[in-house]
Amino acid sequence: MTLLAEAGIYLILDVNSPRIGESLNRYEPWTTYHEKYLEHIFKVVEQFSHYNNTLAFFAGNEVVNDDQSAMVSPNYIKAVVRDLKYYLANQSPRKIPVGYSAADDLKYRTSLAQYLECGDEMSSVDFYGVNSYQWCGEQSFVSSGYDRLVDDYRDYSLPLIFSEYGCNEVKPRTFQEVRAVYSSSMTDVFSGGLIYEFSQEPNDYGLVQIYKNHSAQVLEDFEALKKAYHDAPKAKLSDFRAVERPQRCELVYPNINTMNPLPDTFGLDMITRGVRAPRGKYVDLHKRGTSYTIYDLEGNVIEDTEVQQVIDLKEPLAAPPPSPPTRKAPAVPEPKDPVEPVYDEYPKKVATVEEEDDHEVVNPRRPFERKSECDSCGTDIDGDGWSRDFFSSFNYANLLETSTGSYRDTAVLGWIKYLVSVMLGVVVVEVVRLM
């Protein structure tokens, strides 16, 4: 991170990892959203938030990528965003944006972006990333579909980036799309992007080949991208515009399920107390080069491998801040006696919670099986202070301030459906009696 800072390079980091328990299961997110998962993502934040050149965090990458995941995952993505933003507000020395990296599927392109944009500020993303590979080879702004992409997001209120781009179906890549991304046709909607990817892997998107002995060689795509960046137009501040963010969420968004409320957080104690993790810090550079061999495209050894300082991003944190950062404390529900819920109309099944000796949850509570007309039903498990009464969406705003108008509207609709069904039952009974 020190070398990156001196080279003027910022980092956008996904808090998830491929290891078991360190990312959401897109098809059963309730099985992976638990205390240990939150501890992992909070540790990543703790380790990297003290670097000035940590630009932002991704709360997830392509969690929604098909019809099944679109039905069960959106509210869990929003919950992870909420938890990260509250942890940063309480524990980070500075504000760091939290975003999401989305698969560019036309079915969910705008609906998921709008759902993650709306509602309470602490549960909405600060920026939105799109993984797009639609410009391949010799294409134009129109033939590639970039014109439609821009139109779809033109009214989006948050910063937009390409979190991945760089189609490799036509080789070698020429990266013509880079000029379009930084042109006036796009910079009033998109704010640049990240080419996929640095190191060569079996999927053949790499810019650099890294060998087993840690030596490296730049590839043809590296040189092509270097030229594309050099030739790209320079964006101007006048190209950017501001759009007001929607304060309320819609009740329904096309092709995704947003009717379920956000799950209760397992991370309140960690949010308020912090997690134990080594905090990253800059180091004094005694050596700016590398002991490994780096080859150019023709296989010649690159002799000058010393990192030249172009800007010092380390300085701001070297001096103490002028005043302590503002801390936001999540709202905590008032303690109450446990109330046994009534499940006559809406039967539920509650999974057991198993605990290890250190009392860390290893099998967290699962969502309850419910009838489709009961999307807004609450739960009451163990009287632990986080339980919610039946149809408690009205009170859910007190829990981490994440309730939106859509949840309250859902609860009202639920009561209306219930009352209508009762009235119809009375009418039927009366008709039968008269017959």
121 is catalytic: no
With a CB cutoff of 8 Å and minimum separation 6, the contacts of 42 are 83, 84, 87, 91, 267, 270, 271, 274, 275, 277
Phi, psi of 12 (to 5 degrees): -110, 120
β-bridge partners, 11 = 54
339 to 38, 171, 266: CA distances (angstroms): 28, 64, 21
**H or E segment and range at residue 130:** strand 127-132
What three-state secondary structure class fits 364? coil
How far out from the chain centre does Cα 57 lie?
A: 8
What residue ranges in 345-384 does DSSP mark as E strands? none
CB distance 48 to 280 below 8 Å: yes
Catalytic residue among 6, 39, 62, 117: 62
CB distance 270 to 39 below 8 Å: yes
Strands 190-195 vs 54-61: parallel, antiparallel or unpaired:
unpaired
68 to 33, 255, 264: CA distances (angstroms): 17, 10, 22
β-bridge partners, 132 = 165
d(CA 101, CA 113): 10
35 is catalytic: no
| Terminal alpha carbon distance of the chain | 82
Catalytic residue among 164, 220, 360, 373: 164
- Catalytic positions, written as ranges: 62, 164
